[in-house]
Amino acid sequence: MRPANLCAEADIVVMNSKIKADAALLAVAKHLKMVCRAGVGMDHFDLPLLEARGILAVNTPGANAVPVGEQAVGMLLCMMHNIARADRQVRQFVWQREENRGVELLGKTVGIIGFGHTGSACARNLSGFGCRILAYDKYKSGYAPGYVEEASLAQIQSEADILTFHVPLTAETEGWGSRAFFASFAKPIYLLNLSRGPVVPLAGLLAGLEDGHVVAAGIDVLENEHLATLSTVQRTQMEALIASERVLFTPHIGGWSRESLTRINSRIVEQIADFLAKSGE
Ligand code: NAD
């Protein structure tokens, strides 16, 4: 059965990131009063439409910030110390020490774009590594704990050795990681994207790597995560990225810990109970 048809009788729908709460869903789900995203991010909701129909939309902010913060640091260390590549080599009976000499995090400058739940979790974890942490958040001020400096984007571009995106996907953030953006950095950067794929499009990432402005990239999210439906251009771009030793991929698992699954589901249940209590049902 198609997901939309499952919703035909439903008053409340809990959905994952593969389903959109849009006009097509609402055309079928005529009784809908509440939609819940089991995860973080409202980019799968047509919010103006849901609001116009009086349908409450919720997600679970912060519920998976801990694993994203942990995986960001894990991917960074893996890249800076060549861990995944060295592991692949040893499995092929190749023992290369000099070629896999690492770069230390100690003393480097990390730029964090977006200082909400996941950006601040990443900073907290990095605070023990002796690196300098700059954070840029367009919509906040006075947010930084003592181990973080609030910075402008220009300051991050001129000082960062490492850049990590922690912003939602919006019209402003889509396509941010372009060739021109990476070229605007004073130093070559290690890049992390655990936010949303379209924030760093495949073309921008490839260009940054080819131009040498991106040293290496840890990528948890892709412009198109349905790998079976890539366009010809996307497939060619993905093949080039896969062939590169400088890209570390994970399949959008940054927020997927065993603990966050429980946390997300508990928060969904609490929000549904609250909604039912308030609506007297
Ligand atoms: P959040 O809402 O707590 O924080 C996002 C921050 O980005 C906010 O502080 C906001 O002010 C800032 N921001 C928004 N637009 C900006 C802009 N144009 N410039 C600078 N800052 C901007 O969200 P979060 O929990 O930190 O998650 C961030 C995003 O990461 C989510 O929207 C989601 O898309 C993604 N995410 C991915 C995973 C994963 O599994 N990889 C898990 C959780 C979240």
Q: What is the per-residue pLDDT across 238-277, written as a single tens digit (0 to 9) for each?
A: 999 999 999 999 999 999 999 999 999 999 999 999 999 9
Rounded to the nearest integer, the mean pLDDT of the chain is 95
pLDDT (average), residues 30-54: 93
Task: Return the residue whose CA atom lies nearest to atom 44 of ligand 1.
Answer: 40
* Rounded Cα–Cα distance for residues 156 and 56 (Å): 38
Q: Is 77 exposed, middle or buried (CB count within 10 Å of its CB: 0-12, 13-18, 19+)?
A: middle
166 is catalytic: no
pTM of the model: 0.93
101 is catalytic: no
- The pLDDT of residue 16 is 85
Distance 72 CA to ligand 1 centre (A): 14
* Rounded Cα–Cα distance for residues 84 and 13 (Å): 40
> Residue 7's pLDDT band (boundaries 50, 70, 90)?
confident
Pocket test for ligand 1, best of 16, 17, 40 (most atoms within 8 A of CB): 40
Nearest to 90 by CA among 77, 82, 74, 76: 82
Please identify, by atom number, the ligand 1 atom nearest to the C-alpha of residue 143. Answer: 9
Pocket test for ligand 1, best of 47, 174, 195, 249 (most atoms within 8 A of CB): 195
* Rounded Cα–Cα distance for residues 140 and 159 (Å): 21
2 contacts 20 by C-beta, under 8 angstroms: no
- The pLDDT of residue 1 is 54
